[in-house]
């Protein structure tokens, strides 16, 4: 378990530092592979980080592809949409020319056909990711790996790239990149804020079933992960 826990004084400092770290990985991927793909999380935490990253000027954003680690199965007119958050907070200014691969592909439910349509699009994503930035809920979920998820085992083990999942704590039906696909990355970050999430991470790092706190599957994967936290 190679976890580097970094604490920052406040949200603004964390957002700037995380944006610089991800920007470095993007530049490195462009230099070595000619392109860079990143996968980011939705929710309420990432907005400042997205704004800081999107303003970064010394990135050839035309060579960057952005996607989500997961999505609520709603279209971009819905306030719950992670794609809406990314478009509003990240893909602005210099970053506006980056390509975005959404996970929602239409309809009321993530049907097999809809998920297959998303996966055809995701098949064109450059591999590995330059960076994957995860969040975490206080129930120990990350991406849409929720406790009680109907496809949780598959989400943690299948190559993917993505699959549908429904769970008691998830709200809408979700689509999530699978853990093996997320781990195909040059760098992995976990962005959490507040004391409650720090305590949740401590619980997740302790012994216990992955099913109870699925973020444990990431923490126990052996992949180096940088945890960025602020009060
Ligand atoms: O679609 C989502 O909700 C996210 O991708 C999810 O995995 C998020 O990272 C956590 O739920 C934390 O969310 P908050 O940042 O709102 O606490």
- Taking only the tens place, the pLDDT of each residue in 161-179 is 999 999 998 999 999 999 9
Which atom of ligand 1 is closest in space to residue 68's alpha carbon?
5
The kind and range of the H/E element at 162 are strand 162-165
Residue nearest (by alpha carbon) to ligand 1 atom 7: 143
Strands 99-101 and 188-193: unpaired
Does the C-beta of 142 come closer than 6 Å to ligand 1?
A: yes
Which atom of ligand 1 is closest in space to residue 72's alpha carbon?
1
CATH number for the domain including 83?
Answer: 3.40.50.1360
ipTM value, please give it. 0.97
Does the C-beta of 137 come closer than 6 Å to ligand 1?
A: yes
Q: Give the chain's domain count.
A: 1
- Compute, in angstroms, the gap from residue 114 CA to the centroid of ligand 1: 22
Q: What is the pLDDT of residue 1?
A: 62
Residue from 11, 15, 40, 43 to probe ligand 1 pocket by mutation (most atoms less than 8 Å from CB): 43
Q: What is the pLDDT of residue 208?
A: 98
Does the C-beta of 143 come closer than 6 Å to ligand 1?
A: yes
Peptide bond into 161 cis (omega under 30): yes
Which atom of ligand 1 is closest in space to residue 135's alpha carbon?
9
Give bridge partners of residue 165 from the DSSP assignment.
174
Q: What is the pLDDT of residue 48?
A: 98
Which atom of ligand 1 is closest in space to residue 43's alpha carbon?
16
Q: Model confidence over 83-118: pLDDT tens digits?
A: 999 999 999 999 999 999 999 999 999 999 999 999
Does the C-beta of 176 come closer than 6 Å to ligand 1?
A: no
Of 86, 68, 74, the closest CA to residue 177 belongs to 68
Q: What is the pLDDT of residue 88?
A: 98
Beta carbons within 8 Å of 165's beta carbon, 6+ residues apart: 144, 145, 146, 149, 150, 151, 152, 155, 173, 174, 175, 176
Q: Which residues of the chain have pLDDT under 50?
A: none
Q: What is the pLDDT of residue 179?
A: 98
Cβ atoms < 10 Å from Cβ of 4: 10
Of 152, 175, 147, the closest CA to residue 163 belongs to 175
Give the residue numbers spanning the domain of 47.
3-230
Interatomic CA distance for residues 84 and 116, integer angstroms: 22
- Compute, in angstroms, the gap from residue 43 CA to the centroid of ligand 1: 4
Give bridge partners of residue 100 from the DSSP assignment.
66
Interatomic CA distance for residues 231 and 224, integer angstroms: 23
């Amino acid at each position: 378990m190679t976890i580097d826990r970094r604490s920052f004084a406040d949200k603004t400092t964390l957002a700037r530092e995380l944006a610089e770290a991800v920007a470095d990985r993007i530049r490195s991927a462009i230099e070595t592979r000619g392109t860079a793909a990143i996968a980011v999380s939705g929710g309420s935490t990432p907005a400042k980080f997205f704004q800081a990253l999107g303003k970064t000027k010394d990135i050839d954003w035309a060579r960057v592809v952005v996607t989500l680690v997961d999505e609520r199965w709603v279209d971009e007119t819905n306030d719950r949409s992670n794609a809406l958050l990314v478009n509003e907070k990240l893909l602005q200014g210099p970053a506006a020319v980056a390509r975005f691969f959404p996970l929602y592909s239409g309809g009321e439910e993530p049907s097999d056909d809809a998920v297959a349509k998303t996966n055809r699009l995701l098949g064109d994503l450059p591999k590995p990711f330059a960076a994957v930035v995860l969040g975490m809920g206080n129930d120990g979920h990350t991406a849409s790996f929720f406790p009680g998820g109907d496809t949780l085992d598959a989400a943690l083990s299948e190559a993917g790239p993505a699959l549908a999942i429904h769970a008691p704590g998830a709200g809408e039906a979700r689509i999530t990149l699978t853990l093996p696909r997320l781990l195909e990355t040059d760098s992995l970050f976990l962005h959490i804020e507040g004391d409650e999430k720090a305590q949740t991470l401590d619980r997740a790092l302790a012994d216990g079933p992955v099913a109870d706190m699925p973020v444990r599957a990431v923490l126990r994967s052996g992949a180096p992960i940088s945890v960025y936290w602020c009060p």
